[in-house]
Amino acid sequence: MERHWSKIALDLLSSVLTLVSISYLWRRTRGESPTISPGWLLAGVGSTVGSRLLYDRNAMGIRNHRGRRLAFYGVHAIVARRLLPDDDTVTYNVAIGSALGTIVSLLWNDVLRPVLE
C-alpha cells in the first residue's frame, strides 16, 4: 500500500514523541530509570508489527471495512488486556516496544523497501 510521505512522517514523529514522553513521564513520576525487559519489549514490537502487517495487507478486510477494523482492534485490545500482567514495568516495556515496532514497520515498509525495489 502506497502512503503519502506526510502520513509516514507524521506516524514516525508521533512514535518518536511517544518514546520520549513515556520515558520522561516514567522518570518524572518514579524518580528512577525503568527496568528494561527484552521479552516484553519484543511482545510490544511483535504485536504492533503484526497488526500493521495485517492492516497493510488488508487481511480479513480490516482496512476497507470499518466494522471489521473495529472488531479486529477490539479483540486485539481485549487479548492484550488479558495476557498482560497488571504491572507498571510491563506496561512501560510493551508501550516502548509498540512505539519501536511502529518505527521499524514504517522504516521497512514505507521507506526502505520501496527504495530497494
The verdict on pTM exceeding 0.85 is: no
Q: Residue 99: pLDDT above 90?
A: yes
Q: Sorting pLDDT into bands at 50, 70 and 90, what band is 71?
A: very high
| Cβ within 8 Å of residue 23, ≥6 positions away | 34, 96
Extract the C-alpha cell encoding 75.
479483540
pLDDT tens readout for residues 20-51: 998 888 888 887 777 888 999 999 999 999 99
- Count: domains in the chain: 1
Tell me which of 106 and 33 has the higher pLDDT.
Answer: 106
| Cβ within 8 Å of residue 38, ≥6 positions away | none
Domain that holds residue 12: 5-116
